[in-house]
Structures are given as structure tokens and as C-alpha cells.
């Protein structure tokens, strides 16, 4: 039975990401994280060249731009973001919890490399800058294409 290491919860753009499984723990097969987000939390338009990404919406709602399509997802919905297809997302409810994963694993390191560890009682840490995100993304085979294609509260 696989048992992941303790919490790897980091501040991620005014929200929290808790990495649950890493590529190292799964022999490279997968990476998984829990994203506890605030309304309006968004990603830049980007594309993964090494992995497929999936999001299971646990609570709340989010909109996803996937290629030329838009997918509005609520609790219980699973959204698949295939590799080499540009995508972005925005939380459309006041708060949301999403379980994110990649296959194969590796991209989850994006959060642990750029996020700041959550420390009880301390405020949210500043977000990584776009150049920092682009540099670490490039190391992981993720290309940042530009701003999200929708407003933060679409």
C-alpha cells in the first residue's frame, strides 16, 4: 500500500495547494493535489507537453477553457485537460475545492517549487511572478501562453 509523506501544503495565489502524491511516490505514474481556492482564483493560459491533467470538483464551481471550448463544472464533475491542448481555469464560486492530478506525474512539483509552505497563524504568502512561473514551467514541460481567456469572475 502506498502511503504519501505528510502535508506539503503551500500558498498558491491566495489559495492553498496540498500535494498528496508525487511522481517519486508513484514510480512516475501520477501526481495529485488538493486545491482549496477562493473565488476568482485563476491560471494563465498554458499547455502541458508531458502529461494529461484532470480536475475533480469536490465543492464549488469552476470554468475551464480547453482549446476552443469552455466547460463549466460543479461538484462531482471531472474535467480532463489533454496534453498539448491549451487550457486555463477560474473558480466561479466564492470558494472551491478541486482534486487535481496529472498522468504521468511530475507537474505537481510546480506547486512545491513555487509555493510558500503554509504555516499556521501566518498570512498568505505572495504569489509567484509570471517570469518565475514561466521558468519553472519550462523546466517541467509546461508552456505559459498568456493571461486566462476569461475574466476572473466569469
Span 81-116, pLDDT tens digits: 999 999 999 999 999 999 999 999 999 999 999 999
CA dihedral 101, 102, 105, 106 (to 10 degrees): -90
Q: Could you tell me the CA-to-CA distances from 82 to 6, 28, 46, 48 in Å, in that order?
A: 29, 18, 12, 8
Q: Supply the pLDDT for residue 151.
A: 61
CATH fold, domain 9-145, is Jelly Rolls (2.60.120)
Query: What is d(CA 99, CA 18) in angstroms, rounded to the nearest whole number?
Result: 10
Domain ranges of the chain: 9-145
Quick one: pLDDT band at residue 130, thresholds 50, 70, 90? confident
Q: Supply the pLDDT for residue 127.
A: 87
Indicate the average pLDDT of the chain. 92
pTM to 2 decimal places: 0.90
- Tell me the H-state helices in 14-73: none
- Spatial CA neighbour of 107 closest among 40, 16, 46: 46
Quick one: pLDDT band at residue 124, thresholds 50, 70, 90? confident
Amino acid at each position: 500500500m502506498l502511503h504519501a509523506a505528510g502535508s506539503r501544503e503551500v500558498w498558491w495565489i491566495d489559495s492553498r495547494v496540498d500535494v498528496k502524491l508525487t511522481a517519486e511516490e508513484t514510480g512516475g505514474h501520477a501526481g495529485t493535489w488538493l486545491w482549496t481556492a477562493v473565488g476568482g482564483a485563476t491560471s494563465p493560459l498554458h499547455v502541458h507537453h508531458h502529461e494529461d491533467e484532470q480536475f475533480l470538483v469536490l465543492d464549488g464551481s469552476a470554468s475551464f477553457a480547453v482549446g476552443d471550448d469552455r466547460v463549466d463544472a460543479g461538484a462531482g464533475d471531472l474535467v480532463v485537460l489533454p496534453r498539448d491542448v491549451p487550457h486555463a481555469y477560474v473558480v466561479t464560486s466564492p470558494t472551491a475545492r478541486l482534486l487535481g492530478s496529472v498522468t504521468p506525474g511530475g507537474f505537481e512539483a510546480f506547486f512545491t517549487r513555487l509555493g510558500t509552505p503554509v504555516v499556521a497563524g501566518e498570512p498568505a504568502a505572495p504569489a509567484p511572478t509570471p517570469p518565475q512561473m514561466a521558468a519553472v514551467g519550462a523546466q517541467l514541460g509546461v508552456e505559459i501562453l498568456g493571461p486566462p481567456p476569461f475574466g476572473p469572475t466569469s
